[in-house]
Amino acid sequence: MRKIDLNNFRVARSETARDINRRIVLNLIRKHQPISRAGLARRCGLQRSTVSAITEQLIAERWVIKGAAGHLPRGRKPTFLHLNDERAGIVGVDIQPVTTTLAVAGIDSHFLAHESMSTGRDPAEFVARLSRRILDLIRAHPKSSYEGIGVSLPGRIDTSSQKLTFAPNLEWGELDIKTPLERATGLPVELENTANACALAELWSGRHTEGVSNLMTVTVSDDIGVGMIINGQLVQGSTGLAGEFGHVSLIQDGPQCRCGNRGCWEVLASNSAAARYYAQSASVRKGEVGSKSDMATVGFGDILRLVQQGDAKACKALDQMAHFLGVGIAMLITGLAPDVLVVVGEVTRAWDRVGPIVAEAVKQRSFTHAGTHILPTDPEAQPRLRGTIALVLQKHFGAPFIA
Ligand SMILES: [Zn+2]
């Protein structure tokens, strides 16, 4: 139960109930389409006439369209309703330190196109280039309207200023991306941390999260991000910085982290940690992958490939990373007891090897028996991009803020 905040409340008006019921009906159509009005009335418990009034409004607003008539042995043939995928497009932008991916999706979250561009070091130049690419993408996929742009970033967004405030891996400093993007495209922009956006994507379109209201995502790349949905609500903290478990120091005198601390979880369990473990143990024979001269060029992708070929040193490096991934996940499970913890990142490609090591570290350290299911996501399903689409979708499909 939530306490009523007397500094920030909304009283219920006559349209409040209508808005709640409208969103319930819209979500029922999204989930059970194609569905008849009678089917909707059965599922939500509202009068047929009320359901008809709501669906007429949704049809008038072009959120919903009538499909083919159904077949019943006798009586009136019901008309089936479904979401109007053609109503609007959504642009998704997933910014990562090296590469940024853009996509266009319909309101059914189905991708119509996606493409990549380099991120680059100069934020002003990047935002200008990104704006042009978005406009080109919209021109190439004309829709009657575009609902907005969802952007995920490997950093934290200040909830009041909407500025990027903490992004050690981008090295951009404090930055306003929202205003110039909105000005250039004329569309509303929703910004969110990558791990938070992935958590929202799981909530909205995850395969194993039906009925789940406590969910965490751990995004593993050259950094580690954590997104938390507790009691069905994204946790943002006082300034939007909640979830920086990647910078909790696990080894006091461990390796130096970009944030200034030592032995942070991300310096022990990220992709670059595995690359460092490999470089530290690899032989230094000249010209061989992994020799000191090649150290900087052995990326996490190379390590995964070497593991597939049975390379002992690559296996050892990946196992070490997996162990520390498990150590951090044990901390999350012990502290927050989520129903589901989803792991996002290239590391899930080797989950046959990594999963059991993570599970063992969790078993050894977490005594709460939280019953958390640890699930890897399929990288082919583009979990980061799906998150950016969810950022825009939740404005229309999410529960309204009341009281
Ligand atoms: Zn750190």
User: What's the 370 CA to ligand 1 centre distance in angstroms?
Assistant: 27
Residues 6+ apart with CB under 8 A from 178: 162, 163, 189, 191
Instruction: Indicate the average pLDDT of the chain.
Output: 89
pLDDT in the model for residue 396: 84
Structure-token pair, residue 222: 């050259």
For residue 231, report the distance from its CA to the centre of ligand 1, in Å.
Answer: 28
How far, in Å, is the centroid of ligand 1 from the Cα of 242?
14
Cβ contact 59:66 at 8 Å: yes
Instruction: List, for residues 82-135, the tens digit of each pLDDT value.
Output: 998 888 899 999 999 889 999 999 888 889 999 999 998 899 999 999 999 999
Half-sphere exposure of 229 (CA within 13 A, CB side): 23
Q: How far is the CA of 226 from the centre of ligand 1 (A)?
A: 13
Q: What is the pLDDT of residue 71?
A: 64
Tokens 């349209």 sit on residue: 15
Could you tell me the pLDDT band of residue 290, with boundaries at 50, 70 and 90?
A: very low
Closest of 239, 278, 260 to residue 155, by C-alpha: 239
User: Pairing state of beta strands 79-83 and 64-69?
Assistant: antiparallel
- At 147, give phi and psi (nearest 5°): -80, -30
Which residues 6+ apart lie within 8 Å of 220 measured at CB? Answer: 269, 270, 271, 325, 343, 344, 345, 346, 347
Reading the block at residue 154, the tokens are 């490997």
Rounded Cα distance, 206 and 377, in Å? 9
pLDDT of residue 167: 81
**Rounded to the nearest whole angstrom, what is the distance from the C-alpha of residue 271 to the centroid of ligand 1?**
14
CA of 341 to the centre of ligand 1 (A): 22
Q: 251 alpha carbon to ligand 1 midpoint, in Å? A: 11
C-alpha 325 to ligand 1 mean position (Å): 15
Against a cut of 0.85, is the pTM above it? yes
Spacing, Cα 358 to ligand 1 middle (Å): 21
267 C-alpha to ligand 1 centroid (Å): 7
Question: Among candidates 110, 90, 89, 91, which has minimal Cα distance to 102?
Answer: 91
Could you tell me the distance, in angstroms and rounded to a whole number, from the CA of residue 56 to the centre of ligand 1?
A: 53
Type of residue found at 145: S
d(CA 250, ligand 1 centre) in Å:
10
The predicted pLDDT at position 116 comes to 95
| Cα-to-centroid distance, 301 and ligand 1 (Å) | 23
| The pLDDT of residue 79 is above 80 | yes
**Over the stretch 5-59, which tens digit does the pLDDT of each residue have?**
898 888 888 888 889 999 999 999 988 989 999 999 999 999 999 999 999 999 9
Q: How does strand 215-220 pair with strand 64-69?
A: unpaired
Give yes or no for residue 72 having a pLDDT over 80: no
On whether the CB atoms of residues 255 and 267 are closer than 8 A, the answer is: yes
**Count of other CB atoms within 10 angstroms of residue 225:** 30
Confidence at residue 156, expressed as pLDDT on a 0 to 100 scale? 86
Binned at pLDDT 50, 70 and 90, residue 155 comes out as confident
Return the bridge partners of 91, or none.
104, 149
Q: What's the one-letter identity of residue 244?
A: E
Give the 3-state DSSP-derived string for the chain, with helices as H, strands as E and coil as C.
CCCCCCCCCCCCCHHHHHHHHHHHHHHHHHHHCCECHHHHHHHHCCCHHHHHHHHHHHHHCCCEEEEEECCCCCCCCCEEEEECCCCCEEEEEEECCCEEEEEEEECCCCEEEEEEEECCCCHHHHHHHHHHHHHHHHHHCCCCCEEEEEEEECCEECCCCCCEEECCCCCCCCECCHHHHHHHHCCCEEEEEHHHHHHHHHHHHCCCCCCCCCEEEEEECCCEEEEEEECCEECCCCCCCCCHHHHCECCCCCCECCCCCECEHHHHHCHHHHHHHHHHHCCCCCCCCCCHHHHHHCCHHHHHHHHHCCCHHHHHHHHHHHHHHHHHHHHHHHHHCCCEEEEECHHHHHHHHHHHHHHHHHHHHCCCCCCCEEEECCHHHCHHHHHHHHHHHHHHHCCCCCC
* CA 246 to centroid of ligand 1, rounded, Å: 7
Distance from residue 77's CA to the centre of ligand 1 (Å): 62
